[in-house]
Structure 1
Amino acid sequence: MTIVSNDPTWWPTINAYRFQSYFIVAAFVGLAYDWALTFGQEVELVWRQRWSLMTVLYLLVRYLGMLYAALSMLGNAPTIALTDTNWISVFVFAMLWVIIITRLHAMYQGSRKILIFLIVTFLAVTIFNGVVAVILMMHTSGGEFVLSGTYLCQTNFAEDITLLNSITWILGTVWEVLALCLAVWIAVKHFRELRHHSAGGIIGDCFSVLIKTHVVYFASFVAVSCFELIRDLSPTILANQYSLETQIFFGLSQILTVMQMFVLGPRLILGIREYHAKLVADSDAASGMTSIAFQERVHVSTSNSV
């Protein structure tokens, strides 16, 4: 049903929607800039290398990000804004966690116990997120408005939906904290063991790259989680959804979400592949050397692709 109105009381809503569109465009521009900046590396380190599960995950996360940002900019159909982008988020987070599980499995030297533990916790959180996404789709409605000549869409959520959404972010944050703790623990352990080892510098540097990219990604996820929880639970924001401060808050949340999932997410793979490529390029360091590389197995020769 489409509602047409020229009532001036709708003007704050119109201004809020327009203001939000600026942040959505900014998020898309930032994503496109990062893609252009790293496209050369992507061609060299992804497209031209042997294809693997990590290759597929990288490409899906990277280009689903383009689709997500494009759909967010459209914003002219409730089903697009609330169904497609929501499901893209669910799938992308699942793929990012598969990437993290693969990294941890490699760091723990292929430990089956760690792999089983991570898979069980991953499935529990992911299934819950999927169920919440289905509930969100079933109990959320959208309306079409033509207000003072401006076409807008408004989404109406059931009362319990925001609470369920907050729970998904809390569970996701707990999982990320667990993954970070496991990564830091094994890295510290390896640094101690390899302190006096002849190859310790090379392997230690590899662990440093893994930890650095993981910590940056973790920090961004925590920031996004905090924004989401404040947005869903803060009485001030809920009571003043069309104020300038609230709109700025929503806009920053949108930008952080895009950067966390579709910029820092792919760099979890690209960063370690770039490091591995530098080792291969250094013939003196690469000769007869075996390094820990980010892919399906733990140890690979540096003459092979990551």
Structure 2
Amino acid sequence: MSLTDLLPPGLSIADALQFFYQAVGDTFAVNLAAGAASTWIAYDICLTFAEEVELVWKAKWSLPKVMYFAVRYYGLAASLLYFLVNSSPSPPFTVCRHWPWYEAFGATTAVAVLFGEGMFVLRLWASYERNKKVLVLIAFCFLAELTSSITVGTIEARTISVMPRPPSFPRALPGCYTLAKVPLRNTLGAWIVNCSVATVFFILMLYRFFTSESFRLELSNVKGNPLAKWFELRHFSPLLYLLLRDGIVYFAMIFFVNALNMALSIRMEGRALEGMGIAWTIAVASVASSRLLLNLRGFIGGDRDARSESLKTTMRFEHPTASGGSRRTAEDWIEMKEERLADVAVLEESSDHHGEA
């Protein structure tokens, strides 16, 4: 088999050379993005490893802990495997034969939707105190996202034909030798669904925080300009600030990577650059989802220490002749802090009654 036999029918040599140079550049860019995404996941693990050992490894086994390890370390393994196979000049055909199915389900769907989005969904449902109506809405959105990913993944995997790599195939084009052109209509719908579901979850999160009793209590105690105090949320309500900040960052990262994939599907249809967002989908899900758990557990431990010191200080310096009203005010403040910690514990336990905060 000669190299010209590998060209699409009716393609001239000049057009074939231009097509070849474009494919080499696209493949290099995709592999560069995959290497950068894998490095980011590994770097984030190194940054938070000590915190992870203290807050996750030493905790009892629970559903959030299992999902954390899955999205963290399986995500790293999936990202590295994606980079190694696609950058290999001669990957084994036994691997390539199942590669489209792995890309569709073992990589993006498993890491980004099943584990990553699953962790955020559990946290969102727990913040609504396991309300059944909210559960129906969240479950519907999550299943819609999962179903669209599985459907599109199945269509793509069945469309792509994997062939043994010809001996004369250029080494400048690494990875598996596949023949397929997945139509835009088969992929665009999934990214639209993913962006829509992320937006719905973000709205639910904002609504819950802005209508919570703790938030309204904090604003009612603000003297002066409430708008100015809003920017000091980190100081007068660190728990609400943490939940709101992490939720916004998670939504922004997930929405951006889904929008990136949707834009690549539209603008780069039929080119290798269309797959550039796959590696970043895995990386964003791994980093953003694991940070949700680490930040929350870190706050629980830190706030417990602060609460302990606060209780000691209140008991030590409260004047014995203080009025009953002042004493009740201090007790009310302590009770409010206890309720906040209980809310955080509910968030941490998610839907697994065996978990521990």
CA offset digits 1:181-229 (Å, max 9, x no partner): 01101101121144457xx999942232112111111111221122111
3-state SS, counterpart of residue 50 of structure 1: coil
Q: Is the 8 A contact 2:202 2:248 kept in 1?
A: yes
Aligned to 1:266: 290
SS of structure 2 residue aligned to 1:109: coil
- Bigger strand share: 1
Query: Following TM superposition, by how much is the alpha carbon of 1:120 offset from its aligned partner in structure 2, in angstroms?
Result: 2.5
Offset at residue 11 of structure 1 (A): 4.7
The root-mean-square deviation of aligned C-alpha atoms, in Å, is: 3.2
Letter in 2 for 1:22: L
Deviations 1:51-102 (A, max 9, x none): 2111111110001211211111222353464222321211221222322222
- Supply the AA of the counterpart residue of 1:111: N
Residue of structure 2 aligned with 1:155, choices 178, 184, 191: 178
Give the letter for the 2:309 counterpart.
D
Residue among 24, 34, 55 paired with 1:14? 24
Q: Secondary structure at the match of 1:147?
A: coil
User: Which stretch of structure 1 is more off in the superposition, 130-139 or 35-44?
Assistant: 130-139
TM-superposed CA distance for 1:19, in Å, is 3.9
Return the letter of the residue paired with 1:48. Answer: K
* 1:32-71 to 2 correspondences below 5 Å: 32-71=42-81
**Conservation of the 8 A alpha-carbon contact between 2:109 and 2:150:** yes
CA contact under 8 A between 2:195 and 2:259: conserved in structure 1?
no
2:35 matches 1:25: yes
Alpha-carbon contact 1:104-1:183 (below 8 Å) kept: yes
Q: Distance in 1 between matches of 2:300 and 2:236?
A: 11
Deviation at 1:274, TM superposition (A): 1.3
Could you say if the C-alpha distance between residues 91 and 204 of structure 1 is closer, same or farther in structure 2, counting changes exceeding 3 Å?
Answer: same
Partner of 1:98: 118
SS in 1 for 2:114: helix
Structure 2: distance between partners of 1:53 and 1:195:
35
1:45–1:274 Cα contact (<8 Å) kept: yes
How much has 1:21 moved relative to structure 2? 2.3
* Inter-partner Cα distance in structure 1 for 2:189 and 2:236: 38
Structure 2 stretches lacking a partner, 5+ long: 5-12, 222-232, 313-333
C-alpha distance in 2 between matches for 1:4 and 1:214: 55
Q: Secondary structure at the match of 1:181?
A: helix
Q: Write the distance in 1 (CA, Å) between the matches of 2:118 and 2:350.
A: 14
1:86 alignment counterpart: 104
Could you state the TM-score of these two structures normalised by the residue count of structure 2?
0.71
Change (3 A) 1:103 1:195: same
CA separation of 1:67/1:178 partners in 2, compared to 1, >3 Å: closer, same or farther?
same
The equivalent position to 1:108 in structure 2, one of 119, 122, 128, is 128
Per-residue deviation, residues 129-149 of structure 1 (Å, max 9, x unmatched): 222222222121234254344
Distance of aligned partners of 1:204 and 1:58 in 2 relative to their CA distance in 1, 3 Å threshold = same
- SS for the counterpart of 1:295 is helix
Q: Give me the whole-angstrom Cα distance separating, in 2, the residues matched to 1:119 and 1:130.
A: 16
Range with greater deviation from structure 2 (38-47 or 99-108): 99-108
Residues 138-190 of structure 1, C-alpha deviations (whole Å, 9 max, x = no match): 12123425434455434333543x32221111111111111110110110112
The CA distance in 2 between the partners of 1:201 and 1:225, in whole Å, is: 29
Asked if 1:136 is matched to 2:146, the reply is no
The 1-side partners of 2:278 and 2:182 are apart by 22
Bigger Rg over Cα: 2
Deviation at 1:267? 1.0
TM-score, with length taken from structure 1: 0.81
1:284 counterpart = 2:309: yes
Q: 2:251: which partner in 1? A: 218
Aligned to 2:206: 184
Amino acid at match of 2:305: A
In the TM superposition, what is the alpha-carbon distance from 1:305 to its structure 2 partner? 4.1
Q: 1:183 to 1:271 in 2, by over 3 A?
A: same
Q: Residue 186 of structure 2 aligns with which residue?
A: 164
**What is the deviation of 1:281?**
2.8
Aligned residue for 1:142, secondary structure, equals strand
Alignment check: 8 A CA contact 2:191 2:258 kept: yes
